Amino acid sequence: MTNGQGSNDGRDPSDRSAEVVILGAGPAGLVLGNLLHRAGIDCVVLERADRARLHARARAGFLAEHTVRVLDRHGLADGLHRRGRPHATCEFRTGDGRFRLDYAGLGRGERHTVYPQQHLVADLLTSYLAAGGRLHFATEAHRVLDTDGERPTVEASGPDGRPVRWRARYVAGCDGRHGAARRSLPPGAVVHHHDHGLSWLGLLAEAPPSLDAVGYAVHEHGFAGHMARTPEITRYYLQCDRGTPPEAWSEEHIWRELDLRMRAAEHGPLHRGSIVQRTVVDLECDVVEPLRHGALLLAGDAASLLTPSAAKGANLAVLEAELLAAALVDEIAHGDGRALDGYSGRCLEYIWRAQEFSHWMVRLLHAAPTPHGVPSSFDEGLRRARLAALRTSRAQQDWFAENYVGL
């Protein structure tokens, strides 16, 4: 096992090669590493964080049924079956009252499993290392060179800051929108970007959930969201002005705003606790086209960034990793490159559908920003109409459920 500062493989330090170099040890990189390693494909994962930081990164927590099926299929779901909790209800709170959707009884009849992403990452990491997979912590990739050649090179720096070079047959960029893979895209790559002009203050509170549902609150002060993570930890979101520092609001101010926007006076008090993590999330999204550039392939947040409004990011990452693993095995082990040639187009179909639903959710939950800061009465009317349709129309509810859980 690694000590969190280097390799766990025991090889000579001068050995810097693999059939596939995977950048990033998030869900996409670790699912890909597990599947390639089990298929006998020589691979290595390079992760910029040390092991302690990797275990502490708290992000998404809602896994779709397709994601659970993928993990089950490859023997990677033991932890989530032991500790994950089924979830199938969301509640909307507005000035017109509140309503709930039990979405497991709508659409395709699918539900979520609540399982914090850091727990999933820990499971995937344990599985990969226990099987003898190679992984280097505290190793930051800087750029990928010669992606059109037979052996592309990853330039990186190790835990001691010294430069290292990795040669590979393929490089899988699973290192996010600011990682080396994105920085190494050739001029022909297109990055479609959209900024919603909205920001959320993301919070983790040491407090039990106050609802047995995901809570979405629409209020004149801005959006507020409630998402259970564990019986002791709850994720909250509060819409804030763009540029607000994470520490700008006191804990008392945060809880007052949550009480106000979640309408605690009408629907019951919120369980309070210490705010243990806070970050500001700007609601932006992007898509890279194509996802393959010679020997460089993108997955996860390196392929596309979604807003957290619909909890699609980690689920897309797992789906893409399974597709990419199968395509790489076909090409490397069997000389069949058809799946790899089709990887980008196939993933982009899922990505754009997820982007469309995420965009719809943003418009459902927020007043559209205007240059003068006063919401448009026309946009407000549209938002009320969307909420009314979701409250009253079974067809709209089925559509919502299918897209909320599905990919």
- As annotated, the active-site residues are 87, 216, 308, 312, 404
Q: Which two tokens stand for residue 398?
A: 């089925």
Q: What is the phi/psi pair of residue 251, to 5°?
A: -60, -40
Burial class (CB in 10 A: 0-12, 13-18, 19+), 152: buried
Q: Can you name the residues that pair with 190 across neighbouring β-strands? A: 289
- Listing DSSP states for 281-332 in one string gives EEEEEEEEE-SEETTEEE-GGGTEE--GGG--HHHHHHHHHHHHHHHHHHHH
Contact between 264 and 270 (Cβ < 8 Å): yes
Cα separation, 302 vs 176, whole angstroms: 4
Burial class (CB in 10 A: 0-12, 13-18, 19+), 385: exposed
Cα separation, 293 vs 379, whole angstroms: 40
In the chain, count H helices and then E strands.
12, 19
Q: Which two tokens stand for residue 175?
A: 């290192």
Contact between 324 and 32 (Cβ < 8 Å): yes
Cα separation, 43 vs 18, whole angstroms: 5
Instruction: Please give the DSSP secondary-structure letter assigned to residue 2.
Output: -
Contact between 226 and 215 (Cβ < 8 Å): yes
Selection from 317, 319, 320, 340 nearest residue 328 by Cα: 340
Contact between 101 and 275 (Cβ < 8 Å): no
Separation in Å, CA 368 to CA 319, 330, 381: 31, 46, 11
Cα separation, 154 vs 17, whole angstroms: 10
Q: Is 353 helix (H, G, I), strand (E, B) or coil?
A: helix
The number of beta carbons lying within 10 Å of the beta carbon of residue 148 is 10
HSE-up of residue 364 (Cα within 13 Å, Cβ side): 21
